[in-house]
Structure formats: C-alpha cells, structure tokens
A and B are shown apart, each in its own frame.
Chain A
Amino acid sequence: MSTLTLPRLALSAEFRTIVQRLLAVLALCIVLSVLSGAFLTVGNLVNVLRQAALIFLLASGLTLVILTAGLDLSIGANVGLSACLAGSVIQATGSPLLGAAVGLGSGCAIGLGNGLLVTVLRLPPFIATYGMLWVVHGLTYWFMAGATIHGFPPAFRALGSGYWLSVPIPVYLMFAFLAVGIGFARYTTWGQEIYAIGANPVAARLSGIPVNRRLVLVYTVSGAMAGLASLIFLARLNSAEGDIGEPLTLPAIAAVLIGGTSLFGGVGTVSGTLVGALILTLVLNGMNLLAIDANWQPLVTGVIVILAVSLDVLTHRGGSASR
C-alpha cells in the first residue's frame, strides 16, 4: 500500500522546513549578488562554503543534543581546549596524527563529562554545560599560560586550508558528516530513539528506551564534533591561543535553530543545520562584503538567535510544558 503514496507524503513537515530554508539561501544569494559585485566570485563562494562547513561540523553534534531537548553551551570552550592541546602535541611530537587523536580525545572527554553531569547528577543541561564551559575555558587559559602556538606541518594544515579538486577539504568533510548525520538520525534505531527522547522523555523511558545511555551518547558526540572542528580550525588558522573557540558557540546554536530544530526537542534535522549554517554564513559574509564593522557580527548573530527561538516557541509551544 505504501509505494504509491510515498511521493505525495514526501512533503512532510521536515521536508517543507528544509525547502523553505533553501529558498531563503537562494534569496540571500540573489540579494547579495545584487548588493555586491564581489559576492559571486569563486573565491568568495569558496570562502562561504568553508566557513559554513566549519560551523556545520561543530553544530552537527549539537543538533543531536538539542533534539533531545538539551543544550551544549560548552562547545566553544571545547574547541578552544582541544585545539590548544592538539596544537601542543603536534608541536612537541611533530606528528599530526597524534595531535588529531589528542584533539578528538579531548573533545570526547568533555562531551562525556557533560553527559554524565546531565544524567548522573541530573543537572539541567544548560547549567551543566555552562559550568563546564567555564571550567574548560579556565583549563585552556592555564594550559596556554598566555602563549600562542603556531606553525604546523603542511600536511596538517591542509585539513583546514587545503584543497582537493579546487574544493576546500573542510567542505568534503562537511558533506561526509552530513551523510553520517543523516544516516544516524534517520536510518538507525538509535536515531529514532533520540527523537523519541526529545519528544517525550517519560514516554520514551516507559517504552523501554535506555534514556540515560542515549543522552550520554549525544553529549559525547557533540563533544567529539567540537574536537573535530577544533582540528580544522587549528589547521586553518595555523595557530592556537586560549580564546579561539569562543566566538563559535553562538553561531553554532544559531545554525541549529535556524535550521528548524526545536529547543523543545523531538523536531529537527541534520540537513536543516547545514542549511542553517549556510544562511548564517551568508548573512555574515554579506556584512563583510558591505564593509560593515566586524564587531557587529556577534550582535547580529544574537539577534538571529532570538528571532529563531521566538519562531521556535511560537511554532512548537503547544507540545510541551514550560522549559
């Protein structure tokens, strides 16, 4: 009975959300190309993609966390610490692989910590990750002692600034993890369970889903992706200092929210986050092209976050009680 009806039902709410956002991307592109001659150049577009890729990679793990009606405020600090640790290891040992392992490991560890705070100590996610944010931040500064690391082997730097077939490597990673993300969220039982946990954690638990184990999983993944993002960031900037991750948290959250994932949980997609990252990057890129002071960017991002949350509340408030 189902194969004939599939095309008609394919216009599900999720699909529609993504299509709407893609249209926004298109609209932005048109507007920007009109406003600035420099927009449609290959160099600029490649830049946009690269930026969006970085934000997406960071936000992809975050998407899973927000799907469970949680939040991870520590990802920026996570990127900072992981990058600094990885950078130091690379400098000390000359081995990019070892550095990458350390960076990823650090990201995972922080994510795991968050997960345990939320499940074992039952701290509300925003408090747990907020506290973790400052702890990690502090550790980073202490570790770096105000110094800056720079100069990494070219093999490593390729990760961030290299190209393959004239497309930046981070973009390949972006698509790769898009596939992984979609695969996980839509095509595994774990993914289904995560959506259920976000939609109604009580019902999920009473249906036999091991809620705590899945929560620890998503926070660890969020941390791991932060670790990955830190490597790319490190490679691209070719340097590391204490605060490099700081400005990334808000854009990542913005990307997830713009992409249609609801803070209330149970609704959203990884693809949406990708589109959200694109939209955000385009807006910021536009601001750059129009020579607007870079200091406005956090402000604009903040406004976008508030707008996205308002839209979220208006659309999804009916489902659950106050959060």
Chain B
Amino acid sequence: MLVVLGAGFASSSTGFLDGANLANIGMQSTILLLLALPMTLIMLTEGIDLSMGAVLTLACVVLAAIAVKTGSVTLALAGALALGAAFGFANGALVAWLGLPPFVVTLGTLGIASGLALVTTGAQSITGVGDDVVYFYAGKLAGIPVPLVLGAAAYLAMHGLLYHTRFGTYVFALGGNREALRLAGVRVNAYLIGVYVLGGAMAGFAALLLTARMSAAHPTAAIGMEFDAIAAVAIGGTSFEKGNGWLFGTVLGVLLVGVLRNGLNLLAVPSSLQVAAIGVLIIAALVIESFKNT
C-alpha cells in the first residue's frame, strides 16, 4: 500500500510538487480525514455508512443557518454535532436493534438527509457565515493552519480511542467475532450504536471545516464524499470483513485520494473520471485483499 502511495506521488506533473499545492492538499484532505476516521471504525465492525456525505451536507446547512442567525460559532457547532449524532443514532439503532443490513439503512438515511438538505434550503445556499466560522479553515494556530491542527487532533483522539480503550477493543471484536463478545457478557448493541453515533458526530464536526472553507453552505456540498471516505479506508488496508484494519492506513488512504484528485486536477482530468479512477482503485484494493486472504 505504501508502494501505491509512492507511485501516486511519482505520477505528478508540473506544479504538483509546489509547496503551496502540497499544503493545499493537506488542508482539503482534513475534511475527508474527519469522515474517514470514524468510517474506519464502522467498517471494522463489518458495517458501512453511506449517509455520511449527506449528513455532512445537512450539518453544514444547519451550522450555517445557526451561525447566520445567532452569530455564535459554539451554538452552530453544537447544532451540527447534535444533528450528526442523531442521524448516527438512527443508523446504529436500525442496524443493532432491528438487525437491518447497514448499507440499506444508510442508503435510506442518505436519501433522507440529502432530501432534508434540499428542502430546508429550497436548493439555495446559505451565505454570510461570518469570520468566526471561516477562521476554522483559514486561520492559523501557532503558525499551523487550523484544519491541520484539528485533523491531527482528531487522528490522535481516534487512535487513542481505538487502541487504548475498551471501546476500541470491542470495535475490533464486533467485526472479528461478535458472538465471542456477546458471550463475554458485553452489551454488543450499545457499542454498535456508539460507532455509528461517532460517525454522525464527526460528520457534524467536519461541517464546521467545510462551511468555513466555502464560507457558505451549499445544499449539495458533500454529496458523495462518503465514497472517497470509504475508498480511503479500503485503500488504507481496512477490509470489509472480519475486523481487520489499520487507522494510520486510513490517513495514508486519505492522502492518496487527495493526491490523486489533486494530480488529476492539475492534469485537467475532469472530476468525473477521477471518481472512476478511485472506483477502480477500490476494486483493486479489494481484489488484493481477497487474494491475500485465500
């Protein structure tokens, strides 16, 4: 996988290795990272969350609306987080309590979230979010751009969660041998729901960065971003089954996706084809995975 990443860097063109460009990739990737990190956990439990992009979009709308109305970043963020967590809870509850297949549930919530986003905004963007919000993307903390700080913090937090807490251990078990976990007397459903709530909440948090970046909330802003997130996780070495995964791999995956998109942009490849390329990458990663496992 590292080899693939290296190859990705190698396939560069003029202007790619420019410092500002690289910094740009880093910044833009942070949003994807915020989605891909919890997606890793969800996929570790043999689940998936197709609604993340839509929830992110909706959270942006909510965040922007609150920010414009009240001028308070804290309130806006709280609103976005709450919304994300609520969707996450819905996803998790349907998967855990009703035993519905995750992809169907999140496909449904995808529709609901994107529908809500369009409806509540009347397909219009919300602008004028104010500088307090924009700071989160454009500002710097001790000389380092805020998004990078947030991204690093998120990664460290997730790493700690996954590898140093009971919650994290159980995440692996939920995917690797859910029965064993149940036999050990652990409340499986609670943790399963928790993972999806985490995903939703992170989407809410990512809304802050995305809205800051665009200085507005577009009702179709992040539709489809879950695809990139899933791709990043899969390329980063987390398989769809059996609780096998690597959090740092996800970081690499995010970088690879970011690099790929950036590189292809510079080569004037239309974004649509980029998506196709990423799709091919996912399939390749999966094929490699399945060959490794047989």
Instruction: Known A122-B290, A138-B272; judge A306-B119 contact (CB<8 A).
Output: no
Known contacts A124-B240, A134-B227: does B273 contact A141 (CB below 8 Å)?
Answer: yes
Cβ–Cβ contact A135 & B290, under 8 A: no
The 8 Å CB contact of A250, one of B111, B227, B273, is B111
Mark the stretch among B18-26, B61-69, B92-100, B199-207 that contacts chain A.
B92-100
Contacts of A17 in B (CB 8 A): none
Which residues on the A side are within 8 Å of B287 (C-beta)? 121
Option from A123, A137, A309 in Cβ contact (under 8 Å) with B272: A137
Candidates A122, A142, A297, A300; contact of B276 at CB < 8 Å = A142
4 pairs of A and B residues whose beta carbons are closest in the complex: A141-B272, A138-B276, A299-B115, A302-B111
State whether the Cβ of B279 lies closer than 8 Å to any Cβ in chain A.
yes
Chain A 194-227 residues near chain B, CB threshold 8 A:
none
- Is the CB of B122 closer than 8 A to any CB of chain A? yes
Q: Which residues of B contact A317 (CB under 8 A)?
A: 99
Q: What are 23 A-B interface contacts by the 8 Å CB criterion?
A: A121-B287, A121-B290, A123-B283, A127-B286, A134-B275, A135-B283, A136-B276, A137-B275, A137-B279, A141-B271, A142-B272, A142-B273, A296-B115, A296-B119, A297-B115, A298-B112, A298-B118, A300-B115, A302-B115, A306-B100, A309-B108, A313-B99, A323-B101
Chain B residues contacting A313 (CB-CB under 8 Å) are 98-100
We find that the number of chain A residues with CB closer than 8 angstroms to chain B is: 47
Q: How long is the Cα–Cα vector from A79 to B110 in the complex, in angstroms?
A: 20
Given contact pairs A131-B282, A146-B270, A310-B100, A305 touches B111 in the complex (Cβ within 8 A) = yes
Closest to A136 in B: B276
1/0 contact string of A288-314 vs chain B (CB within 8 Å): 000001011111111101100110010
Contact, CB under 8 Å: B115 / A117: no
Interface centre among B100, B240, B287 (most CB of A within 10 A): B100
Asked whether any CB of chain B lies closer than 8 Å to the CB of A5, the reply is no
A54 interface residue (CB < 8 Å to B): no
Check A134 against B279 for contact (C-beta < 8 Å): yes
A302 CA / B117 CA spacing, docked (Å) = 14
11 further A-B contacts with Cβ under 8 Å, apart from A142-B276, A242-B272, are A128-B283, A138-B274, A296-B119, A298-B114, A299-B112, A299-B115, A299-B116, A299-B119, A302-B109, A305-B104, A310-B98
Docked Cα-Cα span, A306 to B290, in Å, equals 31
Which chain A residues lie closer than 8 Å to B108 at the CB level?
Answer: 302-303, 305-306, 309
- Least CB distance from A286 to B in Å reads 16
Residues of B that sit less than 8 Å from A by CB: 94, 98-101, 103-105, 107-112, 114-116, 118-119, 122-123, 227, 240, 269-280, 282-283, 286-287, 290
Q: Looking at the assembled complex, report how far the CB atom of B105 sits from the nearest CB atom of chain A, in whole angstroms.
A: 7
Q: With A141-B273, A298-B115 as known contacts, state yes or no: A127 contacts B280, CB within 8 Å.
A: no
How far, in whole Å, are A242 and B103 apart by their CA atoms in the complex?
Answer: 25
Query: A123-162 toward B: CB 8 Å interface, digit per residue (1/0)?
Result: 1101110111111111111101110000000000000000
Which residues of chain A are near B278, meaning CB under 8 Å?
A: 134, 138
B-binding residues in A (CB < 8 A): 73, 117, 121-124, 126-128, 130-142, 144-146, 242, 250, 253, 263, 293, 295-303, 305-306, 309-310, 313, 317, 322-323
Q: Which residue of B lies closest to A135 (CB)?
A: B279
- The residue among A250, A297, A298 with the most chain B CB atoms within 10 A of its own CB is A298
B119 A117 Cβ-Cβ under 8 A: no
Contacts of A295 in B (CB 8 A): 115, 118-119, 122-123
Considering the chains assembled together, what is the distance between the CA atoms of A60 and B279 in angstroms?
26
In the complex, which residues of chain B have a beta carbon less than 8 angstroms from the beta carbon of A253?
A: 107
**B273–A139 CB distance below 8 A:** yes
- Report the Cα distance A126→B47, complex, angstroms: 12
B108 to A: closest C-beta gap in Å: 4
Q: How far is the CB of A40 from the nearest CB of chain B, in Å?
A: 28
* A137:B276 contact, CB within 8 angstroms: yes
Query: Does the CB pair A140–B110 fall under 8 Å?
Result: no
Return the chain A residue nearest B277 by Cβ.
Answer: A138
Answer whether A309 and B270 are a contact pair too, CB < 8 Å, given A135-B280, A298-B111: no
Asked if residues A138 and B273 are in contact (CB atoms below 8 Å), the reply is yes
Q: How far is the CA of A227 from the CA of B100 in the complex (A)?
A: 30
**B101 contacts A138, C-beta separation under 8 Å:** no
Which residue of chain B is the closest to A142 with respect to CB atoms? B273
A322 to B100, CA, bound (A): 9
For B286, give the chain A residue with the smallest CB separation: A123
Whole-angstrom distance between the Cβ of A41 and the nearest chain B Cβ: 27
Give min CB distance, A104 to chain B, whole Å: 22
CB distance from B251 to the nearest CB of A (A): 22
Contacting pair A141 B270 (CB below 8 A): yes
In the complex, chain A residues whose CB is within 8 Å of the CB of B115 = 295-300, 302
User: In the assembly, what is the distance between CA of A109 and CA of B16, in Å?
Assistant: 36
For A309, what are the chain B residues with a Cβ–Cβ distance below 8 Å? 100-101, 104-105, 108
Q: How far is the CB of B96 from chain A (nearest CB, A)?
A: 12
Q: Which residues of A contact B122 (CB under 8 A)?
A: 293, 295
A285 to B59, CA, bound (A): 29
Chain A residues with CB under 8 Å of B271's CB are: 141
Residue of A nearest to B283 (CB): A131
Distance from A309 Cβ to chain B, minimum over Cβ atoms (Å): 5
Cα separation A295 to B124 with both chains bound (whole Å): 12
Task: Establish whether residues B104 and A145, one from each chain, have CB atoms under 8 Å apart when the complex forms.
Answer: no
Assuming the contacts A310-B100, A317-B99, asked whether A135 and B276 have C-beta atoms less than 8 A apart, the reply is: yes
